[in-house]
């Protein structure tokens, strides 16, 4: 199994369905590295500690995070299971970016950006990153989010250690197709 497939399996376990790997996550989304290695073994997937460390390190989007002693692992964001991520609140820049596709636009412009099955709406500081996110689904359509103005209304923004901005939702008045 290559690293992309291992990474998808790990995303599934650490974000959406820990039970599928026989894993449990703590309140902040952490689980034991040894338990994850056991889950790969039970799933019949070759992934030893070195494979896992490489996957965490080389993952283009830095999706996963190890504890300081490398005994525990979690997904940095993107969960659908209930976890309380402890990302710091931060003041966003004037504009953040969201990449989506044409077919979602009418709904988004009518009701705003919603987290859908995740906990938060994901926004990027860089337009190029938003383009890549949108391109997962087709031709990317980019929305500018007037983030600083939204924060001034009292809406919280959080920033992950890999630079993804998270917020609960973005009302249509703060969105502009770019
Ligand atoms: C859309 C990946 C209809 C939204 C990426 C998006 C990112 C609405 C989709 C990260 C809507 C949700 C997150 C509304 C939002 N009506 N559609 N009101 N509000 N949408 O995957 O932002 O590879 O949950 O535009 O690279 O695409 O997993 O969010 O198209 O960083 O690490 O509903 O996931 O990272 O899709 O992607 P998602 P996303 P990973």
pLDDT at 161: 84
pLDDT in tens, the chain (178 residues): 588 889 999 999 999 999 999 999 999 999 999 999 999 999 999 999 999 999 999 887 889 999 999 999 999 989 999 888 888 999 999 999 999 999 999 999 999 999 998 989 999 999 999 999 999 999 999 999 999 999 999 999 999 988 999 999 999 999 999 8
Picking from 19, 6, 22, 36, the residue whose alpha carbon sits closest to that of residue 80 is 19
Give residue for tokens 């919603």.
114
Q: Is 50 helix (H, G, I), strand (E, B) or coil?
A: helix
15 close to ligand 1 (CB < 6 Angstrom): no
Crossing angle of helices 3-11/33-42, nearest 10°?
110
132, two tokens: 């890549």
87 close to ligand 1 (CB < 6 Angstrom): no
Q: 66: which strand partners?
A: 73
Distance 20 CA to ligand 1 centre (A): 23
pLDDT at 61: 82
d(CA 171, CA 178): 16
Picking from 118, 104, 100, 105, the residue whose alpha carbon sits closest to that of residue 166 is 118
Within its chain, how far is the Cα of 25 from the centroid?
Answer: 16
Q: Are 99 and 55 in contact (CB under 8 A)?
A: no
d(CA 152, CA 132): 28
pLDDT at 86: 82
Which residues, including other chains, have CB under 8 Å from residue 147's CB and lie 6 or more apart? 92, 93, 94, 95, 96, 123, 157, 165, 167, 174
**Count of residues in the chain:** 178
Crossing angle of helices 49-58/33-42, nearest 10°?
110
pLDDT at 53: 95
DSSP string, 112-176: -B--TTSSSEEEESSHHHHHHHHHTSSSEEEEEEEHHHHHHTT--EEE-TTSEEEES-B-GGGEE
Distance 122 CA to ligand 1 centre (A): 7
Distance 12 CA to ligand 1 centre (A): 16
């Amino acid at each position: 199994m290559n690293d992309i497939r291992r990474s998808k399996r790990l995303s599934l376990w650490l974000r959406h369905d820990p039970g599928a790997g026989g894993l449990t996550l703590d309140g902040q989304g952490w689980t034991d590295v040894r338990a994850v290695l056991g889950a790969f073994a039970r799933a019949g997937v070759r992934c030893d500690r070195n494979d896992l460390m490489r996957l965490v390190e080389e993952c283009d989007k830095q999706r996963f995070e190890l504890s300081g002693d490398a005994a525990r692992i979690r997904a940095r964001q993107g969960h659908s299971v209930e976890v309380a991520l402890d990302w710091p609140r931060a003041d966003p820049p004037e504009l953040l970016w969201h990449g989506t596709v044409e077919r979602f636009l009418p709904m988004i412009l009518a009701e705003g950006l919603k987290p859908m099955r995740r906990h938060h709406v994901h926004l990027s500081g860089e337009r190029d990153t938003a383009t890549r996110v949108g391109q997962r689904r087709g031709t990317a359509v980019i929305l500018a989010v007037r983030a600083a103005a939204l924060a001034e209304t009292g809406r919280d923004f959080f920033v992950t250690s890999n630079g993804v901005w998270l917020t609960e939702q973005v009302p249509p008045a703060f969105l502009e197709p770019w």
